Structure 1
Amino acid sequence: MSFIRTFHGDIAPSKLGFTYSHEHIVCRPPYWVEQENDDLLLDDKEKSKQDVLDFKNFGGQAIVDATAVDYGRDVQAVKEIAEETDVTIVGTAGFNKSFLWDAQIPEHVKKVTGDYHTYYEWIDATSINKLADFVICEIEEGMEGTNIRGGQVKFGTGYNRITPLEEKTLCAVARAHHETKAPLHSHTEAGTMALEQIELLKSEGVHLEHISFGHMDRNPDPYYHEKVAQTGALLSFDGISKIKYAPESTRIQCILELVRKGYEDQLLVSGDTARKSYYKHYDYGLGLENIIGKWVPRFIDEANQNGFDGQRLIEKFFIHNPARCFAFKK
């Protein structure tokens, strides 16, 4: 029997509905707090909530909040948004990438990490199995000492490299996945190192159909995408609306190329909306409504022009594939 673990509790996969697969809703990343980079602080619950309501008003039903402990989650605020909007939200256990770990651990997190000063110190000093226990606790008991349980486990690596501590957290997350059966999610910086991550995951006995690789559209390379897809893993195209990285035409053509090759069941789409300037109600950005309100109609039109059934593909990417990807399989 499979289920999806949400801020509302466990639900049947069929109840998830139209889903953004990688977003950030309320977070104060300690690294960016220390750098005084205000744009990367989503620190106003009410403004974030208004964007979630925009998503809902266009027909959206669920959001996967991909914010891990080292990226400054506010699990209570996100739970309140889930309750007040009736949008299903999935939380994330695990870790991000190593350059964030030089930041100070907030006091409220130290009750579960211990009295270390930085995430780097904590991860360096803690065994793989103890880190796995931390992730397991976030899935089975609650995140950061709350009773709000995570719905996926996450690890990350940097740009064109995997540091020893990133490998350590990858192994810890893989072991937590085996214990809890939680789905896996990978942060790939600028879409790099997925194939190298795959080799490490194989060494930990992970079946690749249980993982989604984030930020694949940051590396718009059809050959690379196919190599990842051949493993059975899901690919997350979660940079929609970010024209500074690539035009939407590039993303859409990469997606359609994977569809042509038979991988439509392995694709997810989202926005990784993690800056005030991306949000409508913080800073007049395109907001959480942009993908469902504008990108989806464009994709359907382009897909139809290329001989595909665009509406059917949208249902795959936003409904059927997330329902399978984010399910615990006991």
Structure 2
Amino acid sequence: MSYIRTLHGDIAKEDLGFTYSHEHIVCRPAFWQERGEDDLLLDDKEKSKRDVLDFKKHGGHAIVDATAVDYGRDVQAVQEIALETGIKIVGTAGFNKSFLWDAKIKEELKPLTGDYETYTQWIEAKSINELADFVIREVEEGLEGTPFKAGQVKFGTGYNRITPLEEKTLRAVARAHHETKAPVHSHTEVGTMALEQIELLKSEGVNLSYLSLGHMDRNPDPYYHEQIAATGAYMSFDGIGKIKYAPESTRIALILNLVSKGYEDQILISGDTARKTYYKHYDHGLGLEYIIAKWVPRFVDEANRNGFDGQKLIEKFFVSNPANCFSFKK
């Protein structure tokens, strides 16, 4: 039997519905807060909620909130948004990437992380298994001491490198996965180091069908994508709407290339909407409605023109693939 773990309990995977696979809803990353980067602080619950309601209005059902402990998540606010909107939200245990770890640990976390000033100090001081125990508790007991449990475990690595501390958190997350059976998600910086992450996970005995790799469209390399897809992992194209990185035509071509090679069951789609300027109700951005309301019709049209069944692919990318990817399998 498979199920999805949301902030408000476990559900049958068939009940997940139309899903964005990588978003950020309410968060105040300490790294950016300390540097006065206001655009990267999603710090108004009501504004975030209005964007979630726009997603719902167009037929959305669920969002995977990929915000880990080191990215300043607001667990209480996000679970309230889930409750008040009726959108199912999946929370995330684990870690992001090492450059964020110079930030100070917020006081509320000290009972859980110990008396360390920064995330770097905490991660350096703890063993792999001690960090794994922290992640396990967030899946089985609740995020940051709340009763709201994580539905996936996450690690991250930097641009074209994996630091020793990032490898340490990767291995901790892999061991937490073995204990909990939670799906695994990775942050790849600009879409790099995915194959290296995969080799490390294999050394920890992780079945790659539990893995989704983030930010694949930031590295628009079809050959590289085919190498990754051949491992059986899910690939998250989660930069939709970010034209500063690439036009939508590039992303759609990358996705259709993978479909043409038979990998349509391993593709996830989302927006990684993590700035005020990306949100409609913070700063007039495209908002959480953009993908479901505007990108989906364009993708269907382009897919159909290229001889594919566009609507069938949308059902896979947003419904059946997330339901399979984010399942706990007993």
Same topology, TM > 0.5:
yes
Unaligned runs of 5+ in 1: none
Aligned partners of 1:115, 1:17: CA distance in 2, in Å? Answer: 41
Equivalence for 2:138:
138
SS in 2 for 1:91: strand
Alignment correspondent of 2:165: 165
Give the aligned partner of residue 94 of structure 2.
94
Who is 2:218 aligned against?
218
Alignment TM-score, normalising by the size of structure 1: 1.00
Mapping for residues 315-330 of structure 1, pairs under 5 Å:
315-330=315-330
Counterparts of residues 201-240 of structure 1 (less than 5 Å): 201-240=201-240
Letter in 2 for 1:208: L
Q: Deviations over 1:84-135 (max 9, x none)?
A: 0000000000000000000000001111001100000000000000000000
Partner of 2:38: 38
Tell me the C-alpha RMSD between the 2 structures.
0.3
Whole-angstrom distance in 2 between the partners of 1:198 and 1:285:
35
Correspondence for 2:194: 194
| Structure 2 counterparts to residues 1-330 of structure 1, below 5 A | 1-330=1-330
Aligned partner letter, 1:97: K
2:232 is paired with a residue whose SS is coil
Aligned-residue offset at 1:244: 0.2
1:59 aligns to what SS in structure 2?
A: coil
Q: Work out the CA distance in 2 between the residues paired with 1:81 and 1:142.
A: 17
Runs of at least 5 residues in structure 2 that lack an aligned partner in the other structure: none
Superposition deviation, residue 215 in structure 1: 0.1
The CA distance in 2 between the partners of 1:108 and 1:319, in whole Å, is: 36
SS in 2 for 1:151: strand
Q: Deviations over 1:260-282 (max 9, x none)?
A: 00000000000000000000000
TM-score (norm 2): 1.00
What do the CA deviations read for 1:57-110 (whole angstroms, capped 9, x no partner)? 000000000000000010000000000000000000000000000000000111
**How far has the Cα of 1:7 moved from its partner?**
1.2
Describe the SS at the equivalent of 1:171.
Answer: helix
Secondary structure of the structure 2 residue equivalent to 1:26: coil
Q: CA deviation at 1:204?
A: 0.2
Note the alpha carbon deviations across 1:217-261, whole angstroms, 9 max, x for none.
Answer: 000000000000000000000000000000000000000000000
1:205 is paired with a residue whose SS is: coil
**How far off is 1:8 after superposition?**
1.7
Aligned-partner SS, 1:176: helix
- Give the letter for the 2:15 counterpart: K
Between the aligned partners of 1:86 and 1:143, the Cα distance in structure 2 is 20
Distance in 1, Cα, partners of 2:293 & 2:110: 41
Q: Distance in 2 between matches of 1:78 and 1:233?
A: 28
Amino acid at match of 2:91: G
Identity of aligned residues (%): 79
What are the Cα deviations for residues 25-84 of structure 1, in whole angstroms up to 9, with x where unaligned? Answer: 000000000011000000000000000000000000000000000000100000000000
The alpha carbon displacement at 1:313 in A equals 0.1
SS in 1 for 2:42: coil
- Measure, in 2, the Cα distance between the counterparts of 1:111 and 1:40: 26
Tell me the amino acid that sits aligned with residue 129 of structure 2. N
